[in-house]
Amino acid sequence: MSVIDNVVFNTEGYMTDPNQWSPEVAEFLAKMEGIETLTPEHWQIIDFCRKTGLASGKAPTLRQITEGTGVTTKTLFALFPKGPAKKVAKVAGLGKPEGCV
Residues that are catalytic:
100
- Exposed (0-12), middle (13-18) or buried (19+): which is 91, by Cβ within 10 Å? buried
- 3 state SS for the chain: CCCCCCCCECCCCCECCHHHCCHHHHHHHHHHCCCCCCCHHHHHHHHHHHHHHHHHCCCCCHHHHHHHHCCCHHHHHHHCCCCHHHHHHHHCCCCCCCCCC
